[in-house]
Amino acid sequence: MSTLNPARVAREFPSRYRLEAARCEKCGAVAFPARLVCPSCHGRKFAKVALVPEGKVLTWTVIHVGPSSHKYEVPYVLAVVELAGGVRLTCQVADVDPAKVEAGMKVRLEFRRIQEDGEAGVIAYGHKGVPA
């Protein structure tokens, strides 16, 4: 079964790829990915802001049995990373021994191939954290 929705990939490109967030012009809250309505104040006007691709691991898990699109990568680390400014995102942490990941570990986000979907023919790119 296809795990990627090509329409969604196209819609979220390019803001996800460029780490482009939206800052609410009313209250200053930063949302990533961008939203139509501010989750804090329900404002609807936003300014684009570029996120700094550096942060730290807040929490993580090690995936030993992954989806078929990631079967050659197991075990791999999936983490919640907090970027400077407080934006949090979930991403894979690569180039690291899963046993060595720890809370507060500094990571840098790099643009990499995330998965390939044979049925839909979509290759998804995105960010992975790597030890900084």
Tokens 């995102």, residue located: 89
Stretch that binds Zn ion, among 37-45, 64-72, 80-88, 119-127 (CB under 5 A): 37-45
CB of 124 to Zn ion, least distance (A): 30
Give the helix/strand (H/E) hosting 12: helix 6-12
Q: Looking at residues 39 to 98 of the shown chain, list those that interact with Zn ion (rule: CB under 5 A).
A: 40-41, 43
CB of 84 to Zn ion, least distance (A): 20
Tokens 């930063």, residue located: 30
Which of 27, 47, 103, 123 binds Zn ion (CB under 5 A)? It is: 27
Residue type, 78: L
Which of 4, 22, 38, 105 binds Zn ion (CB under 5 A)? It is: 38
Name the token pair of 36.
Answer: 């139509």
CB of 52 to Zn ion, least distance (A): 21
Judged by CB under 5 A, does residue 37 bind Zn ion?
A: no
User: Hey, what's the torsion of the CAs at 1, 110, 66, 57, to 10 degrees?
Assistant: -130
106 closest CA partner among 127, 77, 76, 129: 129
Binding site for Zn ion (CB under 5 A): 24, 26-27, 29, 38, 40-41, 43
